[in-house]
Structure formats: structure tokens, C-alpha cells
Amino acid sequence: MIINSYFNIGLVISVITCISIFICTKFLISILWKFKSIVLDYHKSKKSFVAHPGGPSIIITILIAEIVLYYFTNELKIIAIILTTIIAGTIGLIDDLKNLGGYWKPILLLLSPIPIIFLDVYNPNLLFPLFGAVHMTIIYPVLILIAIPITSNTINTIDVLNGVSSGFTLVAAIPLVFALLLKGDWIMVLATIPLILTLTIFLHYHKYPSKIFHGDSGTLSIGAMYGAIAIIGGVEIIGVIALLPAILNSFFFLASVKRFTEHKLIKIRPTIVLPDGIITAEKDHRAPITLVRLIVAGNPSNEKTIIKYMMILAIFSSFLAIIVSLAMFGVAI
């Protein structure tokens, strides 16, 4: 009876999410072009402009769907996810409209996990594979403050090619749902549905060749929501493993530039687009190290091929996360 009730709620949430993201994104693309809110697609050999930012359609859709879910469940966990996502998305939108700078954005993102801590919707027992649970009552809130800005910036940093940030997060969210199902946490499974369906339909417009880009409002909001689901659902390690290639990309970038900075402010880009559309690695040692630069370092490729390689990495890490979740939650392999 309870399962049937959750199924019905999930069906309602799914329909609302799909309709909302479809209408909002279509409408937003036309509005952005009308007001010339467009940006250059750097990885095309010929000048190509794309509507930007697409974040508002994502934020609005997630807000509507999660509010409806809260109406049915009356769970504080949902409120925490909503507030975390909106705060991060708002910071991203401000950055889209008026550049906040490399340091202000990560500092302001420290505000986004506060609802999770304030509403006390987390479990300080961090579960590790093989070792079991580690009690972290004092340090865990500090880790939450750090974790959400990291997941937000991780998705933001990997948003370099058409459809990658949407596709990568979508694939990485699947192990989260799988782990939550193994735990029997139906509320958090339902809370993840808007993220997955929003990304699925938005990807239709974001995939190669993109009709709309996320902008910081999109990447920061979905990154924050991903992190919030992992933390509140108690599947943090699964979330980290699934997102590992993107986390490494962010680490490589920060380690090479040695400061927080915007991609658009980088003077020497990590890759070069040749006249025939082939992307090759920049040989200047001052250029940032990124996943894309490493992929094309010995194998110059076109954008579609690089996207394929990045999605293979996403699928591999997510498959690994699924295997780990089976081991962690007591299912024999």
C-alpha cells in the first residue's frame, strides 16, 4: 500500500517535472534570443552563438516539483533540498548577470548548505565501504559546508562542451537512486526524480549542437542539488565515486591555475580549435590542465568524439559507484 502511494506520488512529480522543464526551456530560449542574451560557443570552428543562461528554467522546474513533493510528504528533507538548490542557483544567476569574480562565488556558495545543517536533516555517521560507519558528530557539519560548494563548482568546471554537464550529472545521479533504493529511502528516491527528469529533457536542448547553455545558474544549482541528495540520503561516498572524473577535472584545473578564477578570464585556453573543427591541446605550459586537454593531448579529436570519451568516463565511474553501493548496503556480489 505504501509502495503504491509512493509510485503515485512519483508519477505526479514526473509529469509535472517533464511538462515544466519542456515549457520553461522552450520559452527561455526564445526570450534569451529576443534580448540577445547569447554567448559564443568556443569549441566550434565557425562562429556559433548559443542562448544563455538556461539555469532559470532548471531552478523553476525543480522548485515546482519539489514543492509538490513536500505537499505530499511534509518532509523537512525536501525543504532543505529546495533551499540549498535555490541559494546556489541564485548565486549562479547573479554571476551570470554580473560577474562575481573567482573568489566571491565559492565564498557565497558556503551559504547554500546552511539549510541542511540548520534543519538537521543529515546523519553524522558517514558510511564507508569495508570500514562501515564513522561517527563524525562535530566535524560533519563542517564537511557539509565544504561539500556543497565542491559539488557545485565541480559541475560548473566540467561544463565546457555541449551537453557534458547535463549528461555527466544525469549519469552520476543514477547510482544515487540505486543506492537509495537499496536503503529503502523512498522519500529521497522521489526527491531525486526532478533532478533526473529535468536533466534528461534539458539535455535535449543542451546536447551537441547546443541550443542553450546552463550558465552558472544551471551548473551551480544542479551541482548543489546533487550534493544535497547525496548528503541527506546518506550516500555521500556513492556520490563522490560517481562524480570522480569531474572532481579530478576540477582539481586539475585549480592545481594548474593555483587560484579560484572564471573560465572566461583565462588568458591562455587549455585547448585550440583548428579550422577543420579538430580540438587539440595547447602546448603552452601556462594553460590550465583540464580533462579535455588531457584527452586531446595525444589524440586531437572533434567535439563530438571528446564528448563521447567524457561520457564513457561518466558511465564507468557510475558503474563503479553501483558496484560499491551493492557492497555497502549488504547485497552479495
Task: Evaluate whether residue 299 is within a structural domain.
Answer: no
What pLDDT, on the 0 to 100 scale, is given for residue 134?
86
Task: Evaluate whether residue 204 is within a structural domain.
Answer: yes
Question: What distance in Å separates the CA atoms of residue 330 and residue 56, rounded to the nearest whole number?
Answer: 40
Task: Evaluate whether residue 104 is within a structural domain.
Answer: yes
SS3 of 290, please? coil
> Taking the complete model, does pTM exceed 0.85, yes or no?
yes
Domain count for the chain:
1
What pLDDT, on the 0 to 100 scale, is given for residue 261?
64
In Å, how far are 106, 168, 251, 319 from 188, measured between CA atoms? 27, 20, 29, 20
Task: Evaluate whether residue 77 is within a structural domain.
Answer: yes
Is there a cis peptide before residue 56, judged by omega within 30 degrees of 0? no
What pLDDT, on the 0 to 100 scale, is given for residue 331?
55
Task: Evaluate whether residue 46 is within a structural domain.
Answer: yes
Tell me phi and psi for residue 127, to 5 degrees.
-90, 125
Question: What distance in Å separates the CA atoms of residue 215 and residue 93, rounded to the nearest whole number?
Answer: 8
Per-residue pLDDT of the chain (333 residues), as tens digits, is 466 799 999 999 999 999 999 999 999 999 999 999 999 998 888 889 999 999 999 999 999 999 999 999 999 999 999 999 999 999 999 999 988 876 788 899 999 999 999 999 999 998 888 777 888 889 999 999 999 999 999 999 999 999 999 999 999 999 999 999 999 999 999 999 999 999 999 999 999 999 999 999 999 999 999 999 999 999 999 999 999 999 999 999 888 877 766 666 677 889 999 999 999 999 888 889 999 999 999 899 999 999 999 999 999 999 999 999 999 886 544
Cell output for 162: 555541449
Q: How many CB atoms lie within 10 A of CB 189?
A: 20
96 Cβ contact partners less than 8 Å away, ≥ 6 residues apart: 52, 53, 55, 215, 216, 217
Task: Evaluate whether residue 289 is within a structural domain.
Answer: no
Task: Evaluate whether residue 192 is within a structural domain.
Answer: yes
What pLDDT, on the 0 to 100 scale, is given for residue 254?
86
Task: Evaluate whether residue 278 is within a structural domain.
Answer: no
**Which residue range(s) make up the domain with 214?**
2-261+304-328
What pLDDT, on the 0 to 100 scale, is given for residue 1?
46
What pLDDT, on the 0 to 100 scale, is given for residue 332?
42
